Amino acid sequence: MKFEVQNGCFAYKNSREILKRISFAVEEGKLLAILGANGIGKTTLLKCMMGLLRWTCGRSLIDGKDISGLPTQKIWQKIAYIPQAKLSKFAFTGLEMTLMGRSAHLGAFEQPKGKDIAVAENALEEIGVSHLRNKRCNQMSGGELQMVFIARALAVEPKLMILDEPESGLDFRNQLIILELLDRLVHEKKLSAVINTHYPAHAMKIADLTLMLGKQGRYFYGRTGDIINVDNMRSAFDVNVLVNSVENGGRQYDDIIPMSVVQPASDWVR
Amino acid sequence: MAFTGEFFRMDEFIQTNGRLRPLVMIALIATLFLTTIVCLTMGRYPLLFGDVLHGFYSRIVGHTIDATTYSVLFNLRLPRTVLAMVLGAGLACAGAAFQSLFANPLATPDTLGVTAGASVGAVLALLADSGMFTVQMTALIFGIASVMMTVSFARIRGRSSILMLVLSGVIISSVFNAIISIIKYTCDPINKLPQITYWLMGSLSGASYKSLALGMPFIVAGVFIITALRWRLNILTLSEDEAHAAGINVQRTRIAIVIASTMVTASCVSMCGQVGWVGLLVPHCARMICGSNNRFVIPLSIILGGIFVVIIDTLARTLTASEIPISVLTAVFGAPFFILLLRKTGGNWE
C-alpha cells in the first residue's frame, strides 16, 4: 500500500494556518518519522492525514484514491492509529484491549469470534507480550501499556501504522524495545509506519524518511540522512547540534548531540 | 481454572475463550429465579415454596387452585415481582451503558440528570391526568432533553471530563428537582400532592399486568439494544480519536446508546418513580466480578440488577406493617456499600 499526502493545509477555526502545503508519500516497508518542536502541529498532522481532522486544502491518498471518498470502516481496516498512551478509566485486560483492534472488521452488533481472538493472541505473541494477556491495563507499566497498544494496532492487520510519540515517557530500555520492534515490523514484515517523535536520534536509527516541521509552516522532507543535519535542526528547533557517527563492533551508530540554544528564543516557542 | 499462582481472579474464572462460561450464566439465571420464587412466598399472607411452584404448575396445566392463593400470587405478587425484576435489570443495564458511553464510572441515569428530567415529564403528565402511555412519552422526551443538556454543558472544546460531566449532571438534576418542588407546591394538596410525592419516592405497589404491558416493551427494547451493542461500548470508553480509529461510527453508536438508556430510565421512572442507586451500584459489583469487558458486564448487570431489586422490593413490602418507599431502601443499602467501594479503590476504579 502506498500512502500519500498532497498539498495538505490545515488551520483550526479562527486561527492561522499551521500546516502549509505538505506533501509526502510512504510506501510499503518504509518508516516516516515526523519531527518538530512542541506545539508545531505534529499530532495535528497525523490526525489530518488519517482524516480525523479535515484538511482545509489538499488530500490524503491510499493507493492513489482520496480517502475522503472511502468508507471509514475500509480506511480503518488498513490504518492502525496509536495515540499518545493514555489510560482508560476501565481496567481492560491486555487481551481485551488488543481485541478492540478487531472492531473495524466486525459489524455493529457483532461480538468478536474465535478467529478474532486468535488474531489478537497472535498479535500479543508476535511482539513477545503474551504474558500481558490477562494483566489489567491499569496495573501495567508505561512500557507494557505501549506494547499492548502496538498489539492492538497489529490486531487490525493494517498496512500502515501511525504512532504518536510511541517511545515518549519510557525508560531507556523500553525505548529501545519499541524502536527495534517498529524497525522489525516495518523492514521485515513490510508494514508501513508513520511516527511522531521528539528524538532526532530515534528517527536516525529507524526511519527511512523524515519530515521535519519548521517555523511558519515550512517543512523539510526527504531521506532521513539528508534531512537531519545541522542547518535544518538549527532552523526548525533553534538548537545548535553536532551530528556524529561512532563505530563499534563493525556497526555504525549515528548520534546527534544538542550543544546550545540559538539566542534569542523567538516567539514560536509555546 | 483461574489460579494465577498468587491470587484467584474472578474475571478469569467466569470466562472461557473470551466468552462467559455457560455454567456461570445458568447459575446466575437459576439464582434469579430462585430468588424470585423465594420472594413470592414472602408477605403478609405467607405462602410456602411448594405453594408457589404448585400455583405455577396448576396455572400452566389449567388446574384450579385456592382462590386466595391465586389472587395473592398472580394478581398481587407476581406482577409486582416481575416489575421489580425488569426495573432492576433495566436500571442496572442503563447505568452500565452510561458509564461506558461517557467513559466515566460515576455516570448513571441519576448523576446525569436523566432521572430528574424524566420525573418532571412524568409529573407534568400525571398532573394532566394523562394515561400511562403519555406519561411514558413525556418522561422519555424530558429524559432525553436533560441528558442532552448535561452533555452540552459539560462539553468544553469538544471534550468533557468526568468532573465536568458529574457537576453539570448535579446542576441539571437540581434544576429539574426544583421544578418538581414548584409543581408540588402549587398543585392540589388533597388529590395530587400525596399521589406525586408517594410516586416520586418510588414504589412498585401500582404494578399490574396492564402497567407492565405498557412499560415493559420500552425497557426490554432498550436493554436489547444495549445488549446487542455491548462490545462496541468497550470502544466508546477509549478516547475520541481511538474510537474513531477503531473504524466504528462513533456518533451513531453514541446516539443509539443514549436513546436506549434514556428509554429504559424514563420508562422505569414513569412506572415506579425515582429508584436511585441501582444504576451505580450494580454495574460496579458486576465489574468487581468480571472486569471491565462490557461483553460480560452488561449481561451480569442485567441479572444482578434483577436479583437486587427483587430482594429490595420484597423487603420494602414486608419489613414493616406499612410499605417503605423503595428509594429509601436502595439508598440505605447502596450508600454504605458505595462508601466501602470508594474507600477500597480510593477513586482509582478497579
φ and ψ at residue A70, rounded to 5 degrees = -95, 150
Average pLDDT over residues B240-248: 92
CA dist A122 and B345 (Å) reads: 33
Most confident segment among A114-128, A240-254, B152-166: A114-128
The whole-angstrom distance between B308's CA and the closest CA on chain A is: 23
Range scoring the smallest mean pLDDT among B17-26, B50-59, B253-262: B17-26
Q: What is the pLDDT of residue A192?
A: 96
Q: What is the pLDDT of residue B1?
A: 35
Q: Is B241 on the interface with A (CB under 8 A)?
A: yes
| A211 touches A220 (CB < 8 A) | yes
Question: Given CB atoms, is B239 within the 8 Å cutoff of chain A?
Answer: yes
Strands A209-213 and A31-36: parallel
- B253 in contact with A, Cβ within 8 Å: yes
Angle at A178 between CA A174 and CA A182, to 5 degrees: 170
For residue B74, which of B321, B64, B325 has the smallest C-alpha distance?
A: B64
Closest-approach residue (CA) in chain A for B293: A92
pLDDT score of B346: 63
pLDDT digits (tens, 9 = 90+) for B23-78: 888 999 999 999 999 999 999 898 999 999 999 999 999 888 889 999 999 999 99
Residue A103 contacts B where some CB pair is shorter than 8 Å: yes
**A182-198 CB burial, b ≥16 within 10 A, e <16:** beebbeeeebbbbbbbe
* CB proximity B300 to A under 8 Å: no
Helices (H), chain B: 10-13, 22-41, 49-61, 67-70, 78-101, 114-127, 132-154, 162-186, 192-201, 209-228, 230-236, 240-245, 250-272, 278-290, 294-318, 326-345
> Mean of the pLDDT values across residues B312-327?
91
Please answer whether residues B24 and B14 qualify as being in contact, where contact means their C-beta atoms are separated by less than 8 angstroms: yes
pLDDT score at B207: 85
Residues 6 or more apart whose CB falls under 8 angstroms from that of A65 comprise none
- Which one-letter amino acid corresponds to residue A201? A
B66 lies within 8 A of chain A by CB: no
Q: Give ipTM to 2 decimals.
A: 0.90
Task: Report residue B188 as a C-alpha cell.
Answer: 392540589
At residue B3, the pLDDT reads 40
Q: Is residue B283 less than 8 Å (CB to CB) from chain A?
A: no
Q: How far is A121 from A142, CA to CA, in rounded Å?
A: 20
pLDDT confidence bin for B2, thresholds 50/70/90: very low
Rounded CA-CA distance A96/A148 in Å is 10
How many distinct structural domains can be found in chain A? Answer: 1
Domain contains A228: yes
- What percent of chain A lies above the pLDDT cut of 90? 80
CA–CA distances in Å: residue A157 to residues A191, A236, B17: 10, 35, 21
Q: What is the three-state SS of chain A?
A: CCEEEEEEEEECCCCCEEEEEEEEEECCCCEEEEEECCCCCHHHHHHHHHCCCCCCEEEEEECCEEHHHCCHHHHHHHEEEECCCCCCCCCCEHHHHHHHHHHHHCCCCCCCCHHHHHHHHHHHHHCCCHHHCCCEHHHCCHHHHHHHHHHHHHHCCCCEEEEECCCCCCCHHHHHHHHHHHHHHHHCCCCEEEEECCCHHHHHHHCCEEEEECHHHCEEEEEHHHHCCHHHHHHHHCEEEEEEEEEECCEEEEEEEEEEECCCCCCCCC
At position A163, the amino acid (one-letter code) is L
Whether residue A121 is contained in a domain is answered as yes
CA angle A20, A25, A30 (to 5 degrees): 135
Is the Cβ of A119 closer than 8 Å to some Cβ of chain B? no
Which residue(s) pair with A222 in the sheet?
Answer: A210
Closest residue in B to A87 (Cα–Cα)? B238
Q: What pLDDT, on the 0 to 100 scale, is given for residue A264?
A: 60
For residue A269, tell me if it sits in a domain: no
* Closest C-alpha to B111, from B87, B146, B77, B84: B146
Average pLDDT, integer, range A190-198 = 95
Read off the C-alpha cell for B184. 408540588
Give the model's confidence band at A138: pLDDT under 50 very low, under 70 low, under 90 confident, else very high: confident
Could you say which residues from 4 to 63 on chain A have a Cβ atom under 8 Å away from some Cβ of chain B?
47, 50, 52
| ω into A83 cis (within 30 of 0) | no
Average pLDDT over residues B204-212: 86
The arithmetic mean of pLDDT across residues B154-178, rounded, is 84
pLDDT at A85 over 60: yes
How close B162 comes to chain A (CA, Å)? 10
How many residues are there in chain B? 350
Q: What pTM does this model have? A: 0.90
Band (pLDDT 50/70/90 cuts) for residue A218 is confident
Residues with Cβ within 8 Å of A112's Cβ and at least 6 positions away in sequence, in order, are A99, A102, A106, A120, B18, B231
Look at residue A268 and tell me if it is in a domain. Answer: no
Which of the two residues, A203 and B204, has the higher pLDDT score? A203
Calpha distance A45→A59 (Å, rounded): 12
Q: How far apart are CA A60 and CA A52, in angstroms?
A: 12
For residue B232, pLDDT over 90 is answered with yes
The CA distance from A143 to A137, in Å, is 11
Which of B228, B234, B249 is the closest to A109 by Cβ?
B228
- Measured between beta carbons, the chain B residues lying within 8 angstroms of A152 are none
Chain B neighbors of A115, CB-CB under 8 A: none
Q: How many C-beta atoms lie closer than 10 Å to residue B103's C-beta? A: 19
Beta bridge partners of B159: B156
- B/e letters for B216-249, b = 16+ CB within 10 Å, e = fewer, are bebbeebbebbbbbbbbbbbbbbeebbbbbbbbe
Confidence (pLDDT) at B6: 47
Percentage, residues of chain B above pLDDT 70: 94
B215: how many CB neighbours lie within 10 A of its CB?
27
pLDDT tens-digit map of A23-43? 999 999 999 999 999 989 999
What average pLDDT does the segment B314-322 reach?
92
Q: In which element (H, E) is residue B19 found?
A: strand B19-20
pLDDT exceeds cutoff 60 at B155? yes
pLDDT (tens digit per residue) in A8-20: 999 988 888 899 9
Q: What pLDDT score does B160 carry?
A: 66
pLDDT at B214 over 80: yes
Confidence of residue B286 (pLDDT cuts 50, 70, 90): very high
Quick one: average pLDDT of B83-112?
A: 92
Question: Residues A223-268: pLDDT tens digits?
Answer: 999 999 999 999 999 999 999 888 998 888 888 999 999 876 555 5
Interface check A72 vs B, CB under 8 A: yes
Q: What per-residue confidence (pLDDT) applies to A215?
A: 86
The pLDDT value recorded for residue A64 is 94
Q: Nearest 5 degrees, angle CA B268-CA B269-CA B275?
A: 90
Tell me if A104 and B293 make a contact (CB, 8 A cut-off).
no
Output the domain CATH number for residue A10. Answer: 3.40.50.300
CA B312 to chain centre: 13
In this prediction, residue B341 has a pLDDT band, given cuts at 50, 70 and 90, of confident
What is residue B96's predicted lDDT score, i.e. its pLDDT? 97
Domain membership of residue A253 (yes or no) is yes
**Sign of the CA dihedral with B3 first, then B8, B9, and B13 last:** positive
Residue B100 with chain A: CB contacts under 8 Å:
90
Cα B32 to Cα A61: distance, rounded to the nearest angstrom:
55
| Nearest chain B Cα distance for residue A79, angstroms | 8
Percent of chain B exceeding pLDDT 90 equals 50
Architecture of domain B12-345: Orthogonal Bundle (1.10)
Note whether B149 and B205 are within 8 A (CB).
no
Tell whether A185 is covered by a domain: yes
Q: Which of A47, A91, A103 sits opposite B246 (nearest CB)?
A: A103
Which structural domain range is residue A76 located in? Answer: 3-261
- What is the β-pairing status of strands A251-261 and A239-248? antiparallel
Q: What is the pLDDT of residue B330?
A: 92
Chain B residues 19-48 with CB within 8 Å of chain A = none
pLDDT of residue A96: 94
Task: Please count the other Cβ atoms lying within 10 Å of the Cβ belonging to residue B155.
Answer: 14
